[in-house]
Amino acid sequence: MVAEDVETTVRKYALQNAVFYKGKANPKAVVGKVMGECPELRKNSKELVPIIERIVAEVNGLGADAQEEALRAIDSGLMVKEKKERRNSLPELEASDVPGGVVMRIAPGPSGPLHLGHSRVAVLNDEYVKMSGGRLVNRFEDTNPEKVDPEAYHMIAEDLEWLGVDVHETVHQSDRFQRYYDVIRKLTEMGHAYICLCDSNDWREMKVACQACGCRGSGPEDNLERLDRLLSSHYSAGEAAAVVKTAVDHPNPALRDFIALRQVDHPHPRTGDRYNVYPMMNLSVAVDDHDFGITHVMRGKDHLNNTHRQGFIYDYLSWTRPVFIHYGLVSIPDTVLKTSVIGQGIKEGEYKGWDDVRVGTLRALRRRGISPEAIRRYWLEVGIKQVDVQVSWDNLFAINRDIVEPEAKRFFFVPEPVKVSVEFDGTTESSCPLHPDRPEMGVRRHSFQGDFQVHICSEDHEELRRKGMLRLKGLCNIESGETCRHAGDDKSVSRQGVRIVQWAPEGSLPAEVVMPDGGLTRGLVEPLDASPGDVVQFERFGFVRIESVDDGVRAVYAHR
């Protein structure tokens, strides 16, 4: 391939990677694409890397529009193909042709960091906003002070950044109480809200019986006076609440009058004791969605009744309703998700932190080496179907494997190591690639002069004792005995049922791997060229994320 053709290929894949990954191409990803199309270039990888780095830098310096235009000019079909692969599960939003793009929101409650379930709505909203060039609002729904963890504000922001979600504006509902009070005052003036002084249980029983409580018939003037008393702490805790009128005989009992303001006798981490009257979700959400110009609201179908309740507020105030999209519920098996449970477990010492591998937080998945792109791709495949879905860990891990495998270096890890002495009169050398498909990454070499010792796992040692022979991968064959013997380098022994095993030479590093159940698998790993944060593959064991290389190796298991 001539130099001009090489540069065109590199530029094509650099543009493709930039267009669909936030305008910034990843040189490593481009290398993989180029080598995949042009395997003959592998022998010239050293000369190719500077070319790729130069072209990636040029592409990353372009604006998004210029990147898309340049990619279309080179290969428009490639861009269409990538779009289909990436967004094939996302149907066009109703009324999505909005000047300036759609405006959507995510609404985390700051009781802890985000977990895998939260990432679904974050990813889908982010994708639709990016598709239309719109805006995404991150609204902290922090109107339940007893459940607010002050650290969660920062942790959630970090989680969203790691997930690749671009937030254009951040809002705290705890800053907007006066606005909610103003809206209730307006609704009260219009006769669409009242202050109820009834016992809460009696009020609920009357709702079930389609009966109006005695407070409901009071006029706006009386209710405004009661509202002033409510907001000035005149009433005892639990004595009064602001209620939005709907219809006491509505066929859906959930849509009969609903509470909009309640008294709360608990300090807030951000506002202290400034307020003791708090908005309920259906009031604050409706007001915020209107005030921040939200055009489309994406939520689970368990919020259908809330959508209808909020619709009353929109209609009373002649506000334009957003487009509501309700998708099926998601269940995530075999993991702990509730932040209250995890937080309590941390306090009691059951969990070691929010990134404990036994829980389903994004921090735990990040620690395990699950990439944010894998999570994004997973939810794009699930899409916004109305049927309920159950997360398939196998599918998520398969997607992650496709992402990390091209860059993951290979190393031998030997759990439960057993030392084996091998008699040998000569010199032998192992040569194992750091990646079987990436010769440019280099090899791991170990040389032996005369008799040598290696470590193999206890299971393989038992296999050697039973069958009499093993093949040390990339090194040689050995026969069992009181002292093992070198048995040549005939690779075809594997076709005769001889097991090929990983091994660790003398001088290997002590290693421990944190497993998904929180347990540790200990062993030895050959000296490795890797840094904390790298995802590597321990051969015949699985992909792991390196956590520490001080005084040995500590890693966290990801998946096979």
Contact 74, 8 (CB under 8 A): yes
Section 259-284 average pLDDT:
97
Question: What class has domain 339-406?
Answer: mainly alpha
CATH number of 410-559: 2.40.50.140, 2.40.240.100, 1.25.40.420, 2.40.50.1070? 2.40.240.100
What confidence tens digit (pLDDT) does each residue in 543-560 have?
999 999 998 999 999 999
pLDDT band at 22; cut points 50, 70, 90: low
DSSP string for residues in 453-477: EEEEEHHHHHHHHHHSEEEETTTEE
The residues, ordered by sequence, that sit 6+ positions from 223 with a Cβ below 8 Å of its Cβ are 188, 193, 194, 195
Quote the CA–CA distance of 264 and 241 in Å, as a whole number: 11
Q: What is the CATH number of domain 177-279?
A: 3.90.800.10
Sign of CA dihedral 126, 131, 137, 143: negative
508: left (phi over 0), alpha (psi -120 to 50) or beta: beta
- Note the helical H segments in 317-441: 339-347, 362-367, 372-382, 393-404
Summarize the confidence of residues 475-491 as an average pLDDT. Answer: 93
Nearest to 145 by CA among 279, 306, 344, 346: 279
Answer yes or no: is pLDDT of 87 > 90. Answer: no
Backbone angles phi, psi at 6, to 5 degrees: -60, -45
Mean pLDDT of 538-546: 97
Residue 23: the pLDDT is: 78
Q: What would you measure as the largest C-alpha separation in the chain, in angstroms? A: 104
367-424 tens-digit pLDDT = 999 999 999 999 999 999 889 999 999 999 999 999 999 999 999 999 999 999 999 9
Whether the Cβ atoms of residue 321 and residue 314 lie closer than 8 Å to each other = yes
88-105: average pLDDT: 88
The helix/strand/coil state of 112 is: coil
Phi, psi values for residue 257, rounded to 5°: -30, 140
User: Residue 21 pLDDT more than 80?
Assistant: no
* pLDDT value for 83: 42
Q: Name the band, by pLDDT with cuts 50, 70 and 90, for residue 82.
A: very low
The full DSSP string for 410-435 is EE-EEESEEEEEEE-SSEEEEEEESS
Which pLDDT score is estimated for 6? 83
Task: Kindly report the average pLDDT of the chain as a whole number.
Answer: 93
Q: What is the pLDDT of residues 38-62, one digit of tens each?
A: 877 767 777 888 889 899 999 988 8
Tell me the mean pLDDT in the region 95-118: 95
Helix (H) or strand (E) holding 80: helix 64-87
Contact 113, 343 (CB under 8 A): no
Separation between Cα atoms, residue 312 and residue 309, nearest integer Å? 6
